[in-house]
Amino acid sequence: MLAKRIQPMVFQARRLYVELMFQVMGRALQAVSEIDSAVQKEARALPDGFLFEMMVMPDGSRLIVEHTGNGRFHYHGDSAPRPVDLSIQFKHIAHAFLVLSFQEKTSVAFANDRMLVDGDISYAIRMTRVLNRLETFILPKLVAKRAVKEYPSNLHLPEKLLSAARIYLKVATHFVETVRA
């Protein structure tokens, strides 16, 4: 009985968590593309104006970023200025929660058919590498190990801490700017 009463609140909390994580990730993608040369190198292969979306089916939370050129991403929030070029879609919010709460690696989620790719698969692979790179920076090593297939052995603590601090600072600034606007 109690579980039945609590269930709607659990669902609501899960939905809010996924929405918040998308907002953080979108801003963090923009931030990491401003500070990390490896991410910039990956992003440069995408066409200028390329719109990437990550969303929960059928019409749930989403994040949209655009490659504005020269390896830089711009976070558009949850609405795209035109049809997106690549969409990674979670089949259900429960699957998005598994990935965004780091209970399931992104690669495992793909292997488990939790997500669909609508668009060029090679760009999806590239964006996954960018997301992995971002996660290794912004998550504590123990958590990052749960999120990515393999934690990079050449990422040392000083670089990780410095990059994470810069990304979080930019994310926080962006949040404040959004609130002010």
Partner 1 sequence: MTNQYYEFFCPVKVIAGKAALEHIPYELTGLAAKRPMIVTDKGVRAAGLLDPVVAACEESGLEIISIYDDVPPDSSTDVVRDIAGIYRSEKCDSIIAVGGGSAIDTAKAVNILVSEGGDDIAAYSGAGVIKHPLKPFLVVPTTAGTGSEVTSVAVITDTTKSVKLPFTSSFLLPNAAVIDPRMTLTLPPHITAATAMDAMTHATEAFTCMAKNPLSDAYATAAVKKISTSLLQVMDNPKDSDGRLELAQASTMAGIAFSNSMVGLVHALGHATGAICHLPHGLCMSLYLPYVLEYNLESIRAPLGELLLYLEGPDVYSATPASRRAEASISALRKMRDELHKRCKLPRTLKETGSVEEHQLDTIADMAMDDGAMMFNPKEVSLDDARAVLKRAWA
Shortest spacing between CB 155 and partner 1, in angstroms: 12
**CA-CA-CA-CA dihedral for 92, 93, 98, 99, to nearest 10:** 90
Shortest spacing between CB 10 and partner 1, in angstroms: 17
Please say which residue, 48 or 150, places its beta carbon nearer to partner 1: 150
Please say which residue, 18 or 127, places its beta carbon nearer to partner 1: 127
Q: Which residues pair with 153 in a beta bridge?
A: none
Q: 25 and 170 in contact (C-beta within 8 Å)? A: no
Q: Measure the CA–CA gap between 148 and 2, rounded to whole angstroms.
A: 36
Please say which residue, 59 or 113, places its beta carbon nearer to partner 1: 113
Shortest spacing between CB 130 and partner 1, in angstroms: 12
Q: 128 and 27 in contact (C-beta within 8 Å)? A: no
Please say which residue, 95 or 174, places its beta carbon nearer to partner 1: 95
For binding to partner 1 (CB under 8 A), which residues are involved? 45, 103-104, 107-108, 110-114, 116-119, 121-126, 128, 148-150
Please say which residue, 72 or 145, places its beta carbon nearer to partner 1: 145
Q: Is 130 exposed, middle or buried, given 0-12, 13-18 or 19+ CB atoms closer than 10 A?
A: buried
Shortest spacing between CB 150 and partner 1, in angstroms: 4
Shortest spacing between CB 164 and partner 1, in angstroms: 20
The whole-angstrom distance between residue 180's C-alpha and the CA centroid of its chain comes to 24
Q: Which residues pair with 39 in a beta bridge?
A: none
Closest CA to 59 of 97, 25, 19: 19
